[in-house]
Amino acid sequence: MSKTNPQRLHLVFGGELVSPERTEFKDVSKIHIVGIYPNYATAYAAWKGEAQRTVDDAHARYFIAHLHRLRDEETPASLTEELGS
């Protein structure tokens, strides 16, 4: 059995911020989930499209989250993570 490369998933999301100087969303229920992408290049293209679409809105901001960095399946979870805390 050959070892496969792990997926490098990326989430692109954004929305209206409380202030352009902060990264706090005004209304979390209105966060725009653009999508989950299999690599950084496609995530970047999606991010760039949304960033350009909202360029005139100083309060709109989009981000790329590196989902593969959030959870390494090879590393045991901490007790609090297992409890969902």
Cβ-proximal residues to 24 (8 Å cutoff; 6+ apart), any chain: 17, 18
- pLDDT number for residue 85: 45
- pLDDT number for residue 7: 77
pLDDT in tens, 49-68: 999 999 999 999 999 999 88
> In the CATH scheme, what is the homologous superfamily, with its name and number, of domain 10-71?
Uncharacterised protein PF13773, DUF4170 (3.30.70.2400)
pLDDT in tens, 12-37: 999 999 999 999 999 999 999 999 99
This prediction's pTM: 0.75
6-15, 24-33, 38-47, 70-79, range with the lowest pLDDT: 70-79
3-state helix, strand, coil in the chain (%, to 5): 30, 25, 45
